[in-house]
């Protein structure tokens, strides 16, 4: 990758890591489900005018909106509101890689490679250590909510694989738009209209800034830059930079929110990151000899030009 594109990848990972701190700040002003609805509203409404109609079947847009927008972010925000630290949330949420590989194996018949299985085992050990360490002095329910958010993210990833959207920006904008009403409905049921109205009446600059950062900087700008990289390079060159997200999340949580970072958590974080990195290792295809040509004239055609491997 060119140096400026490496810088862009690091910038996006940093934005997405700091985003967890911004979520934690925003949760001081809003109920979690209502906050999630507002972020999608702010992200989708301005962009709908420019992206046009969805370019995939509506069923996939709805499925991903429910799995990603409602379940994943709803559970994440509720878990963080229940006490899960920003830094640990950014790390634990990356267990979505484990669930994505698992669901892809079951639903898409994608057989995981041995290195992926080993990596998932290492990452699972790290997550288990975090769960034990966190649960000693904090409610384990907050941790489990974030893990369930990662499960929902894995479901959304598999649904996106089925959908294969030709325009990812168009897809994520419509997913965001369709997540707003269900989140508002769930918020009204579980958080109550009084709490939502009180949050709107008492909204301050920190609340507005949190919504705009998550919607415009983290979602629209971050996703747009990420897709620029994916259009320029192979996914195997870009995706590993996502492993910097929990690094940025834990560092920013420590610096900006004074969140504790113990030696045990750092060791567990290393296990998770190394394990997740192993799942991104791309298998090399064996070299194929030059195709045997049938005939000797300029119009000869290859007898076989199929590539062996993945």
Spell out the per-residue pLDDT of the chain, length 310, in tens.
788 988 998 899 899 999 999 999 999 999 999 999 999 999 888 778 888 889 999 999 999 999 999 999 999 999 999 999 998 898 888 888 778 888 888 887 777 778 878 887 887 888 788 777 766 566 788 989 999 999 999 898 888 888 888 888 888 899 999 999 999 999 999 999 999 999 999 888 999 999 999 998 998 888 888 878 877 877 667 777 877 888 888 889 989 988 877 788 788 888 888 877 776 666 554 544 444 434 444 344 333 333 334 3
pLDDT at 301: 38
Position 39 scores a pLDDT of 93
Rounded CA-CA distance 250/197 in Å is 33
Going by the DSSP 8-state scheme, the letter that residue 166 receives in this structure is S
**Among the listed residues 127, 40, 47, the one whose alpha carbon sits nearest the alpha carbon of residue 77:** 40
What are the DSSP E strand ranges found in 27-107? none
By residue count, the chain amounts to: 310
- Would the pTM count as exceeding 0.85? no
Radius of gyration of the chain (CA): 21
Q: What angle do CA 270, 253, 154 make, to 5 degrees?
A: 60
């Amino acid at each position: 990758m060119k140096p400026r594109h490496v810088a862009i990848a690091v910038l996006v990972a940093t934005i997405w890591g700091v985003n967890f701190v911004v979520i934690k700040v925003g949760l001081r002003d809003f109920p979690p489900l209502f906050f999630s609805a507002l972020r999608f509203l702010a992200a989708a409404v301005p962009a709908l005018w420019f992206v046009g109609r969805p370019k995939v079947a509506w069923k996939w847009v709805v499925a991903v909106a429910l799995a990603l927008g409602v379940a994943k972010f709803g559970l994440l925000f509720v878990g963080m509101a229940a006490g899960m630290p920003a830094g640990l949330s950014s790390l634990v949420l990356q267990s979505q890689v484990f669930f994505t590989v698992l669901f892809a194996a079951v639903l898409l018949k994608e057989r995981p490679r041995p290195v992926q299985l080993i990596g998932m085992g290492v990452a699972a050990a790290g997550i288990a250590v975090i769960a034990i360490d966190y649960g000693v002095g904090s409610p384990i329910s907050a941790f489990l909510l974030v893990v369930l958010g990662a499960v929902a993210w894995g479901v959304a990833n598999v649904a996106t694989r089925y959908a294969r959207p030709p325009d990812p920006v168009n897809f994520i904008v419509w997913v965001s738009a369709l997540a707003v009403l269900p989140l508002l409905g769930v918020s009204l049921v579980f958080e109550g209209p009084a709490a939502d109205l009180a949050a709107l009446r008492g909204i301050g600059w920190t609340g507005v800034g949190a919504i705009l950062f998550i919607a415009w900087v983290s979602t629209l700008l971050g996703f747009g830059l990420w897709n620029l990289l994916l259009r320029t390079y192979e996914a195997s060159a870009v995706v590993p930079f996502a492993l910097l997200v929990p690094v940025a999340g834990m560092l920013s949580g420590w610096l900006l929110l004074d969140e504790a970072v113990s030696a045990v958590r750092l060791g567990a974080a290393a296990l998770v990151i190394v394990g997740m990195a192993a799942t991104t290792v791309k298998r090399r295809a064996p070299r194929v000899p030059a195709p045997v040509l049938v005939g000797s004239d300029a119009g000869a055609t290859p007898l076989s030009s199929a590539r062996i491997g993945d």
